[in-house]
Chains A and B, each alone.
Chain A
Amino acid sequence: MKSTRARFVIVALMVCTFAVGMATFLNYFKYKAAVGETVRSRVLVVTNPIETSVQASLALGLNFAELGILNGLLARQKASDTLIIGIDVFDPAGKVLYSTETGRAGQAAPKSWLDASRLMNKKDEWSVEESQELVTGTALKNNFDLTVGFLAVRYSRAYVDSATGRVANELLLTALAVLVIVVLLAPLALMLIMRQFDRDMAVVQKALESDAPPEGPFGEAVAQMKLNLREADSGLSSAQAELARLT
């Protein structure tokens, strides 16, 4: 980094890397959120008939824990989208009442589901990210708008991760390509800008090394300096010559 220009180029590259890096970071997380939301809202569509069915059954006076038709409906809805791994219905105490998986009914729903269901959004929807699968759900309400239980749809995390990973790679490649162009452009752009500085410095250097007239912002100071140097030089030469003549 001997040249000032090189240091300025490095500054420009560092700032561009920061800006492009941050933009890529933002784009990545925006895409992750967008694709996550698209897939989540897609799998939630299958819950509509289940909610309607539960509500209708409860309106007929059936007990929420004894809705015989629900297991069949859950299985049909699960089959409607290949992304769905399973659908569970659990009561507010966290006991799974119905499930598309045999043996799951009667067991306790994970604590994370219960915690998330307590922090539902305005649409009464909740979601949880687990290591192997993603879970989203809604509140099941009776006709009096009281929550009687919760619906949980488990769907493929690998699918969302693979979509996000694919885009991450593309965004990274885009960022790298942009940075390569910046690496090529920055020295050129700064060279144009620094030309004046280089010229000013070259003028001073040349004025010092030759009889070229000093110009630029330091011209006057250099001219006066040279005048003094010349005066001292000629004074020394004259004294030296006089001394040589006398000795």
Chain B
Amino acid sequence: MTTENTYLKKIYWRISSVTMLLVILALAANSYFSHRTFEAELVPETAKKAVTVGASVSNLILKAVSAGVDYKALYGVDKAFTEVFAANPEFAYMAATDMAGKVLYQAGKQPEGGAAHFASPLVLARLKQSTPNQDSTLVGGQYIVTLPLASESGPLGLLHIGIDRTFVDRIVMEILLDILVVLVVALFFTLELLNFMAGARLESGLHNLSQTLGRIRSGDFTSRVAGSSQDEIGRILMSIDALVVKLNSRYQMLTRDLQAALKSASYGQRAELQVVVGQWEALRAKFRFGSSADSPTGTDAGLNRIRAPLFVFIMAEELTRSFLPGYINTLLVPIPGLSPQIVIGLPIVLFMLIVALGQPYLGGWSERVGRRRAMMIGAFTATIGFIATAMANTLYDLLLWRSICAVGYAMVFVAAQGYILDHSGPRDRAKGFALFIGAIMVATVCGPSIGGILADNIGYRMSFAVAAVLAALSIAIIQLLPLDRHNAESKDSKLPAMKEILGLLANRRFMTLTGLAAIPAKVVLTGVCFYLVPLYIVSIGSTQSMAGRMLMVYAVLMVLIVPIAAAAADKGSSRERLVAAGLCISGLGGFLLLSSASFWVIFGVVFTMGVGQALSIAAQSALVADHCHDEIRQFGSDAVYGVYRLLERLGNALGPLLASILVIYYGYQGAFVAISAFVLVCGIVFALMIRLDPPSKEAAA
């Protein structure tokens, strides 16, 4: 790791830590003051409710008294009080007292100091009031509302209702999980914004500084067109540049003076001047003077610029993940021959299918029209798609609008990949794709969780409108990308030929990797995460926010484990073992649902699947090169990877379809278990097949 990278990481961590500390302090202050507002507003409102409930209860008591039953010998009053608690969980205590304030009937936990309060003259004065008072008094952690109990013959006593002070805490605590989600999302936003606002420039500046220092250290004094930023590093670079320029001008002056002296010198003088010529040549041999056509390389600056628009755009789509099945459910229309479960999965299947089949064609198109322009067209198309989705009337038009979103998504996705290829060389291509995947992963962490919160509070349609705003915002950021070359000659990188597809489908080694690892991994992703989790969570009485949190847990595990698994695979851990273990762990998760159907079990399922997927996903495509050496030689690398990617993406489309069919026959829990069993079997068979057919030595070498 270079000095500037270590230095940069240190700065990043410090800034992120301070920013997160500020966020935590801000959230804590905001929550404290919001709690006070809640208490100030909700307690009087609940006191009014207590008065209404109290009036209803006192009517029952008075009815019995008017029927001739002695007020002090009523039966079942305690039970009636308990029933009130069941319907009104914010009430903690109810008591009916006599004229002296002595408790005759009560239910719930009497507040500390309650007996003294009931017998106090101030409270007993309420016996004379004809109308109930909505004021409440805080006694031992309960807000006590007091109502007079008066029959036609005169006052009987008082009815006290205790409102648990902690009910406001409970309401505030209900949003604690959402606040935690906001905190996690804020952390990822911090890292993204640091990169977008300052990181890329700082990284580029530090790189230039390091490069310049290294260049001069090696004796290269050629002056270059330095990045003339006005920040700290820019000023240092300008100072160095000034020193170099000064040195160069002195060198040029020496060269000019020496040439002039040699020109006008006599033979004898020339011999003397040879000393200076020797010095001049020694300087030239040791150092490089003059100017260079090379400007300091911006290295990753160009690459880095794709990250922000890509993140914002993908975030728009990811926002909808947690509530899309719920939204489809509200627009459901009966389609003859298709069960509602399959119909709910249709827009997701169609989206995945369009993205899978569209990508090979859109690659060439984006090269022809220019990556930046292609991304803008894609983001614009998706924006229209999101707006139309927000206004969809039935499932039929929703299918059309989601298709438009899919086309836009595929355009941006392919064009962004192309941008990275255009702006990276063989040396930094891996870094470019890591940046690409990083932006997508962070969007998958932030999108579904925030989307779930939005859907729960502002509704599905408005949440799609927010997605449209994000997609539109991405257009503005895409505009900041540099203009690129159009390549009118570029042809579509068409789908692999049928001969190649059939040849590879019949190939055992290739299908072991694709059919037993890549496709099941995608089936789990879209079938379980995009389809089953959002629908099941809501079906057990939870919220879209909870579905979003689950998807966030999955994405966070990906962000944390994928780099570790990738590093382990690069350092020599068996990729085959990682993939097999990952598939088996993913598969085992679903069996948890056989024990219970609770929310925590679903959390366990998502967690296990996340860990398993993260372990296997990084090593999967690398295994194609390891195991399909002969196939690559026979069909070519493009064809093998083309068919591999195509089948993998078709797995994306297959996931929701398979899950919906399983739901029809086995219900949600059955579908989870069946998909898990399928993945587990795939993992075991994969491990056995790989053991029987290890990679060729040539490939391993």
Contacts and interface: CB of A to CB of B under 8 A. Distances in A.
Interface stretch (A19-27, A97-105, A108-116): A19-27
Contacts of A197: 11, 232
B636 interface: no
A81 B52 contact: yes
Nearest to B283: A235
Given A193-B18, A229-B216, A232-B283, A27 B34 contact: yes
The A contact surface, by secondary structure, is: helix
B595 interface: no
B216 A26 contact: no
A45 B53 contact: yes
B198 A11 contact: yes
A225 B52 contact: no
A12 B42 contact: no
A16 B23 contact: yes
B397 interface: no
Given A239-B279, A242-B276, A201 B18 contact: no
Contact of A247 (B210, B214, B236, B261): B261
A73 interface: no
A178 B250 contact: no
A35 B30 contact: no
Q: Which of B49, B194, B209 has the most CB of A within 10 A?
A: B49
A48 interface: yes
Nearest to B231: A4
Interface stretch (B177-185, B496-504, B529-537): B177-185
Contacts of A89: none
Contact of B42 (A26, A35, A239): A35
Interface in A218-239: 218, 221-222, 224-225, 228-229, 231-233, 235-236, 238-239
Q: Which of B56, B205, B231 has the most CB of A within 10 A?
A: B231
A20 B202 contact: no
Interface in B152-185: 171-172, 174-175, 178-179, 182-183, 185
Given A16-B23, A193-B18, A221-B3, A4 B198 contact: yes
Contacts of A224: 217
A164 B445 CA distance: 32
Contacts of B453: 22, 26
A7 interface: yes
A15 interface: yes
A243 B190 contact: no
A38 B198 contact: no
A18 B189 contact: yes
A16 to B, nearest CB: 5
Contacts of A240: 250, 253-254, 257
Contacts of B18: 12, 189-190, 192-193
A224 B458 CA distance: 62
Interface string B41-60: 11001101100110110010
Given A27-B34, A205-B236, A224-B217, A38 B3 contact: no
Interface residues of A, number: 84
Interface stretch (A54-62, A63-71, A167-175): A167-175
Interface string A186-208: 10011011101110110011001
A75 interface: no
Given A38-B46, A166-B41, A225-B216, A45 B22 contact: no
Contacts of B62: none
Contacts of B31: 23, 27
A244 B108 CA distance: 106
Contact of A239 (B230, B283, B286): B283
B239 A30 contact: no
Given A34-B38, A239-B279, A246 B236 contact: no
B46 A243 contact: no
A2 B233 CA distance: 11
Given A23-B179, A171-B34, A232-B283, A11 B174 contact: no
A41 B276 contact: no
A80 B19 CA distance: 54
A145 interface: no
Nearest to B209: A218
A23 B34 contact: yes
B189 A15 contact: yes
Given A30-B174, A35-B41, A11 B190 contact: yes
A175 B174 contact: no
Contacts of A85: none
B243 A228 contact: no
Given A34-B42, A229-B243, 11 more contacts: A11-B193, A15-B186, A39-B45, A81-B52, A177-B33, A178-B30, A185-B22, A198-B232, A204-B209, A236-B247, A247-B269
30 contacts: A7-B197, A15-B189, A18-B186, A18-B189, A19-B182, A19-B183, A22-B450, A23-B27, A24-B34, A26-B457, A27-B175, A38-B42, A39-B45, A42-B53, A163-B41, A171-B34, A175-B30, A197-B11, A208-B240, A208-B243, A225-B217, A229-B216, A232-B219, A233-B247, A239-B276, A239-B279, A239-B280, A242-B276, A242-B279, A247-B269
